[in-house]
Amino acid sequence: MHPADPLPSSSPQPVFSTGLPRLDAVMHGITPGDNIVWLVDEVEEYRALVLPYAAAARAAKRHLHYFRFGPDAPLVSADAQTQVHQMDPGEGFERFVRAVHNVIEEAGRGAIYIFDSLSHLADAWNSDQTMGNFFRLTCPRLWSLETVTYFSIKRDKHAEQGVGPVRRTTQFMLDIVRVDDRLYVRPIKVRHHANEAMDTIHRWSGDDFIPVLESAMLAQILSRIQWPKLQSDRRGGYWQRMFDEAEALLRDERNDRAPPGARAAMMQRIRQAFAVHRSGIASLVEQYLTLEDFMAIRRRMIGIGSVGGKTLGMLVSRAVLRGRAPELAARLEVHDSFFVGAEVFVTFLIENDVWWLREKQKKLESFLTDLDEGRRRIREGRFPDEVLEQFESMLDYFGESPYIVRSSSVMEDARGNAFSGKYESIFVVNRGTREERLAALLVAVRTVYASVLGEEALLYRKRRGLLQSEERMALLIMRVSGAAHGRYFFPQAAGVGLSCNPYVWHPDIDPHAGVVRLVFGLGTRAVDRSDDDYTRLVALNAVTRRPEASFEEACDHAQRKMDCLDLVAGRQISLPLHEVLHERRADLPLDLYCTEADDGHPWVTFDGLLKDTPVPADLRHMLTVLETAFGAPVDIEFALNFLSDGSYRIHLLQCRTFQFRRDPEVLAQRAKGVKPHPLLTACGAVIGVSREQRLTRIIYIVQQAYAELPEQTRYEVARTIGRLCSRHDEAAGGLLLIGPGRWGTSSPSLGIPVSFAEINHASAICEIVAMHERLIPDVSLGTHFFNDLVEYDTLYVAYFPQKTGNHIDTTWFEQAPNHLTECEPEAADFADVIRVIDCPDGDTPVWLRADAGVQRAEVFAIDAGAQGGME
């Protein structure tokens, strides 16, 4: 059996101790043959481990042998049970190996050993690889003699050629990390049936070792650690030479030897290599990202090329806060993300015969052809070995912490082209064997890559005039914020924020103060419309001013379900809140987020968070600072967690400009001397740019007829509506959709299951809140659906039948001439459900007037014979 192989199920029980019982528990005990390697910064950290270990050996009356060959003060002294063997590595590798092994053979079975830092051997032999070779020769013999041995290595000092053989050969490797004067133990390799120990960092406090489970602390600790193996593929080439020169420039700057203008020239080269000029925020990158920032990106980068718009937006926004609001930046959760360069995507397409298929998407006549075949080839594609090695190294870094693979294409999140929700982002629970975890990562990467050939993304590119533009997919791989609670993993809160609030539901609300949409658990419920639940909308200058009119409405419209990661099932799930919270940790500050309902179950209010913490003020300040820097309203995604010490961290996940026109256009006044015929009056919610425009066509869905349809037929209705919208002349404008329930729902029982791509020619959509007795529109601020509305300048109106001042003339809509079959002859069966009402200028013109400032929208007709004009 190789010494690094797992012991059989009949392996002996632990027979020795580290001298620190709680550390024994972390390591699941020490058994004969174990070699334990500690990665340390300072010899005193190693000494603090050696002393109780030596004391345990003496207490157990075991023979202790100390190999001394370094310049530091001795770790232990000789006594009746302890022999100190003075060695001289300067005599050469072979003599040193022979001398050490002579001692080992003479000591025989069951001895206890301590070695000085192996880093001294690399110094003496001028070779990391020789240090590794010594360990490969010595560790197996110690294992076969059933000894227990302590080694140490200077952390972050050696190349992979030296550390790799040690890691592969030893039974234990543990990292000692100092962060803010606290020591943490991070197991890198733990062999004895201790999978959970492999991935739990512990804070070392006296004799205690306390598990660290919060993502904020894990990221803060691990981000301090360099990973030489991730950098193992640094072969010659332009990027390697460029960053070698950048490292040399930084050394010259520290020594005041850098020539004038050298940094500016280097930054220009690096920004060009990263294709920053294509991001849409090039000026912000130039202003806020330093040479040191790009060096940090490179150290955590897989492959080369652009890191994409989403990544740059996240990095720039953090840099803005670092420079303009350092006190706020200090409360950000550290991101320890990895970046997969866009050239990895290009190489993947070429090597898997997808390139020429993708070229068809640049031509108007063929941009939707062969998509299924292209996606199949991507899902079955293979990666180069050097990329797989770097993926494996990244997984070693994350351990079993969940992460998310996010799209970050070159065109994504650019000004005016957000690509909101067009590309995939995949959560990976990251549990199982190393092989299983690698397989899950590759599935996630391929899924994001395949979304480039998604029909909705291509239709979006067509509408934005981007089919000819070269799209390259980089990836942003981020640790999931939060902590494990039993089998479930989630952040305490998450949401989206807009620096300009387009939904002013009360006079107290200042639209320039911003708005956030909060959820408990994963933020997927904030960025995607959840048809079966609600979220909390917060105007940041009036945090207690809810859109609901009464306490009962607030209760009815509270979040009841939450999204989380199921660590056992290995997937993202949605569950009733109380089911997840049944396994919550005791330190979860539930009182900040929830109120107990009459049935004993918690319902989400966020009252404690909003009233009793500085979080709303921080979010408002953050949005203001970012909007000022970006020179436009911004849209952010974030997660939020309170830590066990009572502090909190905001994880800024994304930031992009939000294409919202802040000031409404001047509305025309009513016709002189003419009393319009009101067809529909809706008092909130009205979201979008205020307007008054003539309508050319109304597509009206008859509520009762639609409600009687079976579910599958409702999908057919949705497809018919999609065809009607696509054939509407965009230049003519003035298309209004009115329907029961939610437009764009994934559940036909709650509305009309169209995709936004099917209805993006509409000027306005109106949701009649009548599909379900508890259904109200969950105002979609910050969701992908809402971002689409904004980008397409589509007005959103919610009509509440029972709300005072609201009115709809159903007789007019249901008796107006129906032009459905003229537009769609094969849709005759739906004539009682879908009404296509044309509104020509010459007969009875129909107008839409909407004022988001006062939350009122009207649709009205003007008699053809009326005198006077519109002012």
pLDDT at 844: 72
Q: SS3 of 453, please? A: helix
Alpha helices in 666-759 (DSSP H): 703-707, 711-727, 756-759
- Given a cut of 80, whether residue 787 has pLDDT beyond it is no
Instruction: Write the pLDDT tens digit of every residue in 98-136.
Output: 999 999 999 999 999 999 999 999 999 999 999 999 999
Average pLDDT over residues 641-662: 85
pLDDT at 229: 53
Instruction: Write the pLDDT tens digit of every residue in 2-18.
Output: 343 333 333 444 468 99
Chain position carrying tokens 């690698």 = 438
The residue length of the chain stands at 871
- Given a cut of 80, whether residue 292 has pLDDT beyond it is yes
As given in the structure block, the two tokens for residue 64 are 């202790």
Query: How far apart are alpha carbons 191 and 637 in whole angstroms?
Result: 39
pLDDT at 730: 74
Average pLDDT over residues 27-46: 92
pLDDT at 866: 45
Average pLDDT over residues 699-704: 94
Average pLDDT over residues 255-282: 92
DSSP letters spanning 486-553: TTEEE-SEEEEEESS-S---STT--GGG-EEEEEES-THHHHS--TT---EEEETTBTT--SSSSHHH
DSSP letters spanning 288-353: H--HHHHHHHHHTEESSS---HHHHHHHHHHHHHHHH-HHHHTTBPPP--EEE-HHHHHHHHHHTT
Q: Which residue has the higher pLDDT, 36 or 773?
A: 36
CA 665 to chain centre: 37
pLDDT at 26: 84
Query: How far apart are alpha carbons 481 and 210 in whole angstroms?
Result: 20
Band of the pLDDT at 783, cuts 50, 70, 90? Answer: low
- Given a cut of 90, whether residue 482 has pLDDT beyond it is yes
Instruction: Write the pLDDT tens digit of every residue in 331-381.
Output: 999 999 999 999 999 999 999 999 888 888 788 887 888 899 999 999 999
Query: What mean pLDDT is reported for the chain?
Result: 87
Average pLDDT over residues 647-670: 68
pLDDT at 780: 55
Q: Which residue has the higher pLDDT, 154 or 459?
A: 154
- Given a cut of 70, whether residue 667 has pLDDT beyond it is no
Looking at the DSSP bridge assignments, the partners of residue 694 are 847
- Given a cut of 80, whether residue 814 has pLDDT beyond it is yes
% of the chain residues with pLDDT over 70: 88
- Given a cut of 50, whether residue 661 has pLDDT beyond it is no
Instruction: Write the pLDDT tens digit of every residue in 752-780.
Output: 999 888 998 899 999 998 654 444 445 55
Asked whether 743 and 765 are in contact (CB, 8 A), the reply is yes
Query: How far apart are alpha carbons 317 and 323 in whole angstroms?
Result: 10
Instruction: Write the pLDDT tens digit of every residue in 209-242.
Output: 999 989 999 998 888 776 555 554 455 578 888 9
pLDDT at 155: 85
Quote the pTM value: 0.80
